[in-house]
């Protein structure tokens, strides 16, 4: 049964301008430049003045007079004096032209003998292409070559073959209609494992390390001992049970230490050695810069965050021209121009508001962590959460989060992500509140200074922190240690 009823609701929705601002806030500086270029391409009413075009009055070459000109030259000069690039385009031609045939928009004026001046670009060789090129130089049959291509295609980025051999035989049967046996694949796999870099094509870490050791030309006693340890006592080695290895192998401690040093020289991920050459470098452009000038902190915002944008003069003139035009095409043109101008105004306002939001947020963070920005000592960092800064600048917590998660600040002590300055608080026995980052710094310093032969356990670290007034539980110490990417004491042990 259908019913009609009147219901009143109170909803809060973001306007298109607010959505645009939120999207602009969360992107870093280098992405903002691309976003502005995209907006200029999509909206012809938005314009960015080029260098030197805005200061024509200051141009040193504007009033140069090379000598007296004739009457014809004066007439020609007067004819083009008042013309601007905008005058060369008449909007009436656009309205009256209608549909333009495709052949009038096609340009074919290049001769076969014309020299092509293309800009070259550098492209690296991928890991799979590097191995395929080596496989083509080996003495293998056509069938073995196809099997080798399948194996190379199944290698992961680290250079390991994680795919099951039986599954590969089924894949080749269905996708390439090629019947191969497990033995044939294993035979070609040995060829792949003999390619560079050493260790490629291994099915696990143990096999990868053994392949690299066996490829070494100089098999001195330390390498022979390392092969023995990896072949028979790999589990004990990964758990660093060196006493068990010494007892079972009956080798001396210097020999074990030399073998371990040889193993540590190996590359556990051979594929990365090739991938690094083709991987693009990631550059960080700081959004802020904090400098200590004669004891005073000075904050500057990257000028790329506030580019000079303006409304196109051509579109403003169009809007004035067709404001009173009642012709149907004139109304359509008027609506189009108005829409583009409004969109450009919103974008310019959003950029300005973004600049202001970035400045007030970073200023609040700099004032809150003033001691750190003066000294660079991490132990001086105060506990700070998003709510603390949001209350200072009178903005929403989500806005502060967008700024902190993607912006970098350049300081005399390095370039850091704003998010790293935020940390939870913990109370000492004296009642003083300290940052968890301060505790992590103290924890890291003690681990770095420990005796590597007898590393400190989590229980010992807990007692040390308690002696310094940081009353935290052992599980909390373990959590902070994992956040610092520090392994447990047993795995930090060295001979």
Enumerate the domain spans of the chain. 127-276, 288-421, 425-492
Mean pLDDT for the chain overall: 77
The sign of the torsion formed by the CA atoms of 161, 164, 167, 169 equals: positive
Distance in angstroms (rounded) separating the CA atoms of residues 234 and 210: 11
pLDDT tens per residue across span 85-103: 445 555 555 545 555 565 5
93 HSE (CA, 13 A, CB side): 5
Residue 464: other Cβ atoms inside 10 A: 15
The rounded Cα 8 to chain-centroid distance in angstroms is: 46
Question: Which has the minimum average pLDDT: 57-61, 231-235, 481-485?
Answer: 57-61
| Position 394 pLDDT exceeds 80 | yes
**Which phi and psi angles does 427 have, rounded to 5°?**
-95, 130
Task: With a cut of 50, say whether residue 58 has pLDDT above it.
Answer: no
Crossing angle (nearest 10°) for helices 221-232 and 253-264: 80
3-state helix/strand/coil string of the chain: CCCCCCCCCCCCCCCHHHHHHHHHHCCCHHHHHHHHHHHHHHCCCEECCCCCCCCHHHCCCCCCCCCCCCHHHHHHHHHHHCCCHHHHCCHHHHHHHCCCCHHHHCCCCCCCCCCCCCCCCCCCCCHHHHHHHHHCCCCCCHHHHHHHHHHHHCECCCCCECCCHHHHHHHHHHHCCCCCCHHHHHHHHHHHHCCCCCCCCCCCHHHHHHHHHHCCCCCCHHHHHHHHHHHHCHHHHHCCCHHHHHHHHCCCHHHHHHHHHHHHCCCCCCCHHHHHHHCCCCCCCCCEEEEEECCEEEEEECHHHCCCCEECHHHHHHHHHCCCCCCHHHHHHHHHHHHHHHHHHHHHHHHHHHHHHHHHHHHHHHHHCHHHHHHCCHHHCCCECHHHHHHHHCCCHHHHHHHHCCCEEEECCEEEEHHHHCECEEECCCCCEEEHHHHHHHHHHHHHCCCCCCCCCHHHHHHHHHHCCCCCCHHHHHHHHHHCCCCCHHHHCCC
Max Cα–Cα distance, the chain, nearest Å: 108
User: Is residue 111 over pLDDT 70?
Assistant: no
**Alpha carbon distance 130, 197 (integer Å):** 10
In CATH terms, is domain 425-492 a member of 1.10.10.60?
A: yes
pLDDT category of residue 463 using cuts at 50, 70 and 90: confident
Residue 74 binned pLDDT confidence (cut-offs 50, 70, 90): very low
Query: How confident is the model over 180-184, as a mean pLDDT?
Result: 88
As a whole number, mean pLDDT of residues 417-425 equals: 81
Q: Which residues sit opposite 427 in a β-bridge?
A: 433
Q: CB burial class (10 A; 0-12, 13-18, 19+) of residue 318?
A: buried
Residue 491 has pLDDT above 80, yes or no: no
- The residue length of the chain stands at 495
Name the residue with higher pLDDT: 95 or 128. Answer: 128
Q: Specify the pLDDT at position 73.
A: 45
The predicted model gives 3-24 an average pLDDT of 76
Q: Which residues contact 241 (CB under 8 A, 6 or more apart)?
A: none
Task: Tell which residue, 352, 322, 212, 223, has the closest CA to residue 269.
Answer: 212
Contact 256, 225 (CB under 8 A): yes
Highest mean pLDDT (candidates 24-28, 81-85, 431-435): 24-28
Map tokens 């590359």 to a residue.
267
Residue 254 in this model has a pLDDT that exceeds 50: yes
pLDDT at 278 > cutoff 80: no
Mark residue 414 as left, alpha or beta (left: phi above 0; alpha: psi -120 to 50; beta: remaining): left
pLDDT value for 104: 55
Q: How confident is the model at residue 75 (pLDDT cuts 50, 70, 90)?
A: very low
pLDDT tens per residue across span 210-249:
988 888 877 788 888 888 888 888 888 888 888 888 888 8
Q: Average pLDDT for residues 461-481, to the nearest whole number?
A: 83
pLDDT band at 323 (very low <50, low <70, confident <90, very high): low
Could you tell me the pLDDT band of residue 326, with boundaries at 50, 70 and 90?
low
Of 150-159, 209-218, 301-310, 406-415, least confident by mean pLDDT is 301-310
- How does pLDDT run across 438-457, given as a tens digit for each residue? 788 888 888 888 887 788 88
With cut-offs at 50, 70 and 90, classify the pLDDT of residue 371: confident
- State percent of the chain over pLDDT 90: 1
Identify the band that residue 307 occupies on the pLDDT scale cut at 50, 70 and 90: confident
- HSE toward the beta carbon, residue 253, CA cutoff 13 A: 6
Q: Would the pLDDT of 142 be above 60? A: yes
More confident residue, 488 or 325: 488
Query: So what's the pLDDT on residue 59?
Result: 38
């Amino acid at each position: 049964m259908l019913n009609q009823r009147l219901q009143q609701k109170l909803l809060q929705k973001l306007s298109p301008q607010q959505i645009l601002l939120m999207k602009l806030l969360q992107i870093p500086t280098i992405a903002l430049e691309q976003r502005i270029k995209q907006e200029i391409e999509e909206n012809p009413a938005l314009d960015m003045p080029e260098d030197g075009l805005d200061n024509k009055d200051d141009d040193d070459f504007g009033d140069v007079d090379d000598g007296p000109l004739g009457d014809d030259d004066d007439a020609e000069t007067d004819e083009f004096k008042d013309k601007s690039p905008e005058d060369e385009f008449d909007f009436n031609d656009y309205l009256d032209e209608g549909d333009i045939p495709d052949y009038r928009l096609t340009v074919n004026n290049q001769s076969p003998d014309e020299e092509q001046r293309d800009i070259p670009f550098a492209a690296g060789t991928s890991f799979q292409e590097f191995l395929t090129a080596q496989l083509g130089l080996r003495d293998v049959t056509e069938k073995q070559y196809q099997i080798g291509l399948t194996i190379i295609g199944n290698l992961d980025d680290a250079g390991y073959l994680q795919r099951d051999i039986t599954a590969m035989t089924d894949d080749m049967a269905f996708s390439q209609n090629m019947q191969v046996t497990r033995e044939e694949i294993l035979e070609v796999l040995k060829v792949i494992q003999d390619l560079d870099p050493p260790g490629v094509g291994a099915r696990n870490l143990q096999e990868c390390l053994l392949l690299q050791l066996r490829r070494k030309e100089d098999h001195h006693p330390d390498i022979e001992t390392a092969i023995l340890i990896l072949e028979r006592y790999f589990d004990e080695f990964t758990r660093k049970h060196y006493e068990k290895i010494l007892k079972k192998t009956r080798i001396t401690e210097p020999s074990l230490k030399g073998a371990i040093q040889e193993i540590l020289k190996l590359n556990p991920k051979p594929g990365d050695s090739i991938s690094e050459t083709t991987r693009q470098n990631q550059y960080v452009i700081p959004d802020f810069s904090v400098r200590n000038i004669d004891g005073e902190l000075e904050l500057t915002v990257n000028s790329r965050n506030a580019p000079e944008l303006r409304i196109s003069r051509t579109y403003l003139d169009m809007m004035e021209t067709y404001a009173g035009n009642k012709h149907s095409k004139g109304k359509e043109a008027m609506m189009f121009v108005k829409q583009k101008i409004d969109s450009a105004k919103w974008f310019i306002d959003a950029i300005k508001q973004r600049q202001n939001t970035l400045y007030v947020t970073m200023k609040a963070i700099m004032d809150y962590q003033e001691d750190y920005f003066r000294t660079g000592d991490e132990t001086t960092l105060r506990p700070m959460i998003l709510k603390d800064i949001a209350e200072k600048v009178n903005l929403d917590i989500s806005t502060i989060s967008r700024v902190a998660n993607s912006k970098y600040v350049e300081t005399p002590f390095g370039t850091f992500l704003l998010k790293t300055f935020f940390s939870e608080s913990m109370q000492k026995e004296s009642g003083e509140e300290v940052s968890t980052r301060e505790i992590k710094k103290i924890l890291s310093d003690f681990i770095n200074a420990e005796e590597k032969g007898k590393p400190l356990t989590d229980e010992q670290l807990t007692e040390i922190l308690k002696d310094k007034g940081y009353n935290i539980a052992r599980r909390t110490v373990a959590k902070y240690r994992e956040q610092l990417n520090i392994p447990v004491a047993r795995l930090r042990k060295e001979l």
